[in-house]
Amino acid sequence: MASSQDNFGNSPASVVILVHNSFGECLPARVANMFGTLNKIMLINNGLTSCFPQEIGLLRELTVLDVSFNELAGPLPPEVALMRKLEQLDVAHNRLTGAIPPGICELPRLKNFTFTYNFFTGEPPSCMRVVPRDGDRSNCLPNRPAQWTS
């Protein structure tokens, strides 16, 4: 993805949809360069690995962020909570770990947050209003049904 990643973030696009690719790299931090125009980003099943850049929080106009079915690992950056216009967040089927930052579920416009099939160990009570039924299954959440540890 070298040439694609070099150009990623240099576009005036308001919607980016990339599905079923084999990038095998991190979500590029330069996606934050699109902070003034990007409204929706859907990077589904692209083989994105490891990093979820903190710069993602600069995308303040974003209403949809879907990075499901990748191999993103590590914590979900708390900077996602800076995306005050976010309505839909889907990080399902990755390898994300740690506790979900509380501010994410408190986003004023967030209506749907799906994070199944990860390794999250904590979920703030505020998530109950935005997580669909079974939207938190197959994680490592204590006292929740259908978890990796249950």
pLDDT at res. 8 = 65
Q: For the domain made up of 2-129, give the CATH fold.
A: 3.80.10
pLDDT at res. 1 = 41
pLDDT at res. 145 = 87
User: Which one, of 119, 131, 125, 130, lies nearest residue 102 by Cα?
Assistant: 125
pLDDT at res. 78 = 95
Tens digit of each residue's pLDDT, the chain (150 residues): 444 555 666 778 899 898 998 888 887 788 888 888 899 999 999 999 877 888 999 999 999 999 999 999 999 999 999 999 999 999 999 999 999 999 999 999 999 999 999 999 999 989 988 988 888 999 999 888 899 864
Tally of CB atoms within 10 A around 28:
20
What Å distances lie between residue 77 and 82, 84, 100, 134, CA to CA? 10, 15, 9, 23
Kindly list the domain boundaries of the chain, sorted by start residue.
2-129
Helix runs in the chain, H state only? 2-7, 102-105
pLDDT at res. 6 = 59
Is the pTM above the cut of 0.85? yes
